[in-house]
């Protein structure tokens, strides 16, 4: 199953989601990320805390959803509230869309330790969702069953 994580600037939450899904997706889940208004660089703390957790950062880049080289996802997952309200590009057609709101750890004003903890919590939340996707066999579901499973994952705690 191919997942496209979208966040407006494609520098933190969508990048984290892409890396974590590809690391832990067991070959069943393939992810990319993009944004409607990408800033052109991955937030340095995204890279730092992914690497701290042993998660590969190879190939991660901030890119537009218009530059996916013909790669068409099965599911589009918006991870920021502003992206959830945006109209997806026409080429995505009837692709299934779900919203998984995540707090943006890169926006936190606080000590270095508070920022580190925010990144670690966000990484943990995404990893838990990937594990739950695998446990729920989302890669073997279609239509409403898939939508319901993915939507439920966003509302489950810890």
Beta bridge partners of 78: 6, 99
Q: Residues 125-136: pLDDT tens digits?
A: 999 999 999 999
- Report the share of the chain in percent with pLDDT over 90: 67
CATH code, domain with 137: 3.40.50.2300
Q: Residues 93-150: pLDDT tens digits?
A: 678 888 888 889 999 999 999 999 999 999 999 999 999 999 999 999 998 999 999 9
Q: Considering the domain boundaries, does residue 72 fall inside one?
A: yes
Beta bridge partners of 3: 31, 75
Measured distance CA(22)–CA(27) in Å, rounded: 8
Q: Considering the domain boundaries, does residue 41 fall inside one?
A: yes
Domain of 106, in residue numbers: 2-151
Backbone angles phi, psi at 134, to 5 degrees: -65, -45
Cβ contact 118:101 at 8 Å:
no
Q: Considering the domain boundaries, does residue 46 fall inside one?
A: yes
Measured distance CA(108)–CA(115) in Å, rounded: 6
Total domains present in the chain: 1
Measured distance CA(153)–CA(134) in Å, rounded: 11
Residue holding tokens 């590969």?
56
Single pTM value for the model: 0.91
Helical residues (DSSP H) of the chain, grouped into ranges: 13-24, 44-52, 81-84, 112-135, 143-155
Q: Considering the domain boundaries, does residue 158 fall inside one?
A: no
Q: Considering the domain boundaries, does residue 145 fall inside one?
A: yes
CA distances from 127 to 3, 25, 148 (A): 14, 10, 19
């Amino acid at each position: 199953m191919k997942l496209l994580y979208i966040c407006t600037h494609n520098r933190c939450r969508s990048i984290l989601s892409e890396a974590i899904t590809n690391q832990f997706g067991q070959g069943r889940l393939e992810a990319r990320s993009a944004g409607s208004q990408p800033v052109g660089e991955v937030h340095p703390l995204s890279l730092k805390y992914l690497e701290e957790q042993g998660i590969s950062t190879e190939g991660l880049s901030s890119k537009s959803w218009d530059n996916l080289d013909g790669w068409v996802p099965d599911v589009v997952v918006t991870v920021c509230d502003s992206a959830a309200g945006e109209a997806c590009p026409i080429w995505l057609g009837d692709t299934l869309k779900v919203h998984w709101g995540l707090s943006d750890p890169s926006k936190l004003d606080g000590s270095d330790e508070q920022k580190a903890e925010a990144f670690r919590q966000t990484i943990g939340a995404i990893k838990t969702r990937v594990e739950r996707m695998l446990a729920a066999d989302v890669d073997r579901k279609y239509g409403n069953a898939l939508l319901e499973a993915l939507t439920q994952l966003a509302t489950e705690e810890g």
